[in-house]
A and B are shown apart, each in its own frame.
Chain A
Amino acid sequence: NAGVTQTPKFRVLKTGQSMTLLCAQDMNHEYMYWYRQDPGMGLRLIHYSVGEGTTAKGEVPDGYNVSRLKKQNFLLGLESAAPSQTSVYFCASRDPTGGIETQYFGPGTRLLVL
């Protein structure tokens, strides 16, 4: 049982390049989330999904797109990377029937945009 995994762990991009971050969970959770973490800003929600085939915007969605084609996977895309998107990205998942507002986080992806 791996929990929540993220690929890649680290990536360097040039301004304007695109990339996709992959999040996978093996806990059969319905809800999944993408956050970014910046110094002094805490964790900010980018996009989230309440089930396969659904996505919704969070607090800071601009410049990102997401897809949830399979229940276990949640993809975060950057179409044209900007230096302001340099950050650590965390994926999380949650079981809404668990009765506890617990989100399980992945290990993070460090992204540097030059």
Chain B
Amino acid sequence: QKEVEQDPGPLSVPEGAIVSLNCTYSNSAFQYFMWYRQYSRKGPELLMYTYSSGNKEDGRFTAQVDKSSKYISLFIRDSQPSDSATYLCAMSLRSSNTGKLIFGQGTTLQVKP
């Protein structure tokens, strides 16, 4: 079993839809939770960052962490064709001096006009 599991999709939605992307994890020591966005043939870029549990909102994006369920989510409101990309969740340990990240497999999202 992988430490971080993410449904690879692909996920196809119409423009304006609410998108929900999710990851589950097995290591309860993870404290830092991130979502990266990766456009085709580009490097990943940080989208959202959360420490420990709770919600964080940034414009149309909301990140949620439920540590009791070992489950994190990314919601995209009013999705746009420009949101079409692969979304990768990533996690790291609280005590990590090396900053090593454990990534999920990535979910490919297509938003159709």
Check B101–A103 contact: CB distance below 8 A.
yes
Interface residues on B, range: 20 to 34
Question: What 0/1 pattern do residues 92 to 104 of A give for CB contact below 8 A with B?
Answer: 1010100011111
Q: List, in ascending order, chain B residues with CB within 8 A of A40's CB.
A: 8, 105
A101 and B44 contacting across the interface, CB-CB below 8 Å: no
How far is A42 from B92 in the complex, measured between Cα atoms in Å? 15
User: Mask for B25-50, Cβ within 8 A of A = 1, else 0?
Assistant: 00000001010000001111110010
The answer, yes or no, to whether A82 is at the interface (CB within 8 Å) is no
Chain A hits for B92, CB < 8 A: 101
Q: Are A107 and B42 in contact (CB under 8 A)?
A: yes
CB 8 Å contact bits of A49-63 with B (1 = contact, 0 = none): 010000010100000
Q: How large is the interface on A (under 10, 10 to 19, 20 to 34, 35 or more residues)?
A: 20 to 34
Interface presence of B65 (CB below 8 A): no
Whether B109 sits at the interface, judged by CB under 8 Å, is no
- Within 8 Å of chain A (Cβ to Cβ): is B6? yes
- Taking CB atoms, residues of chain B closer than 8 Å to A101 are 32, 34, 49, 92, 96, 99, 101
CA distance A104 to B43 in the complex (A): 9
Interface status of A105 (Cβ within 8 A of chain B): yes
| Residue B97 CB within 8 A of the other chain | yes
Contacts of B106 in A (CB 8 A): 42
Which residue in chain A gives the minimum CB-CB distance to B100? A45
Of all chain B residues, which has the CB nearest A96?
B99
Chain A proximity of B8: nearest CB distance (Å): 6
Residues of B within 8 A of A43 (CB): 44, 88, 90, 101, 103
Which of B8, B43, B49, B103 is the one whose CB lies under 8 Å from A108? B43
- Give the distance in Å from the alpha carbon of A44 to the alpha carbon of B3 in the complex: 12
Q: Given the interface contacts A42-B103, A100-B49, does A56 sit within 8 Å of B44 by beta carbon?
A: no
Given contacts A42-B6, A42-B103, A42-B105, contact A102 B98 (CB under 8 A): no
5 contacts between A and B (CB under 8 A): A41-B105, A101-B101, A106-B43, A107-B43, A108-B42
Task: State the 10 A-B residue pairs at the shortest beta-carbon distance, nearest first.
Answer: A105-B43, A42-B103, A43-B103, A42-B105, A101-B32, A105-B44, A94-B99, A107-B43, A102-B46, A101-B92
